[in-house]
Amino acid sequence: MKRVLVIDDATTVRMYYRQVLEAQGFAVEEAANGYEGLEKALMESFDLYIVDINMPKMDGYTLLRSIRQEPAICATPAIMISTEGQVQDANAAYAAGANLYFNKPVKPDVLALTVRMLTGEKPT
């Protein structure tokens, strides 16, 4: 079972990702901020990270930069999803190490499909 780590400070948003992804047969772990996310990422192995930008303690950019610098986990794909919706956010996301950027809210079918593709999970 492919494992996805969801890092977002909004419980509702985490719950939403969990619902969508669990329905697709993914195992979902949650972290409420970048710091917690980095801890989890370092301790367990995941196939994909879904990262919010604006979070307490450690923001998404910092988290992604840290992930990309950790040899053990740097190759794991990451999606960044945020509310900002401005060009500079997308570019900043890519500069920090995201592989794909979305604006909130991501529709369930788009999210499911993208996560499947980025984790190499075959179509149902």
Partner 1 sequence: MTPLLAQFIAESREQLEMTSAGLLAIESNPNDLDKLNEIFRAVHTIKGSSGLFEIRPVTVLVHAAEDLLDALRSQEVEFDRSMIDLLLDAFDQVNQWLEELERHETLPEGLESRARELGGQLRAFLNHRQVETVNEETLTAPTFTELDWLGQFPEHERAALYSQRVADEGPLTVFRYIPDAQCFFSGEDPFYQVRQIPGLSLLAIVPTEPWPSLAEMDAYHCILRFEGIASAAHGELAELFRYVPEQTALLNISPEALAVPVGRPDETVHAEFVNEGLTLANQEDWAGLRGAVEGLRDNYEPETWMASALRWLQRLLDSATPDLTAVCRLLEAMRTGQSPDWLAALAQPLAQTADAAPASAPASRALALTAEEESAFQRIVAEQARSLTLPTVPESWSGRILSIFTCLSNVLRYVQRADLLEELEETRETVLDTHDIEPLKNLLGHLVDAEDAAADSAQELSDSPGAATEVFKAITPTETTTGSEKQIAKILKIDQHKVDRLMDLIGELVVAKNALPYLAQRAEKIYGVRDMAREIKEQYAVINRIAQDLQGSIMQVRMMPVGQVFQRFPRLVRDLSKKLDKKIQLIIKGEDTEADKNIIETLADPLIHILRNSIDHGIEPPEERLLAGKAEEGAIRVNAYQDNDSVAIEINDDGRGVDATAVKNKAVRRGLLTEEQAEAMTDHEAVQLIFAPGLSTAEQVSDISGRGVGMDVVRNSIDRVGGAVTVNSRRGAGTDIRLTLPLSMAVTHVMAVELDGKLLGIPMDLVVETVRLPPAALFSIKHRETFVLRDQVVPLARLRRLLSMDEPATGEAALATLVVKVQGENIGLVVDNFREGMEVILKPMEGVLGSLRQYAGTALLGDGSVMLVINIKELL
Write out the residues near partner 1 by the rule CB under 8 A.
9-13, 15-16, 18-20, 22-23, 27-30, 32, 36, 52, 54-56, 65, 67-71, 74-78, 82-83, 86-89, 91-92, 94-95, 97-101, 104-105, 107-110, 113-114, 116-123
Q: Which residue type occupies 64?
A: L
Question: Which residue shows structure tokens 């956010």?
Answer: 89
Q: For 47, how many CA atoms within 13 A lie in the half-sphere containing its CB?
A: 16
Q: Name the residue nearer to partner 1 (CB basis): 19 or 42.
A: 19
Closest separation between CB of residue 48 and partner 1, Å?
A: 9
Q: Name the residue nearer to partner 1 (CB basis): 42 or 95.
A: 95
Question: Which residue shows structure tokens 């592989």?
Answer: 99
Closest separation between CB of residue 60 and partner 1, Å?
A: 12
Closest separation between CB of residue 119 and partner 1, Å?
A: 6
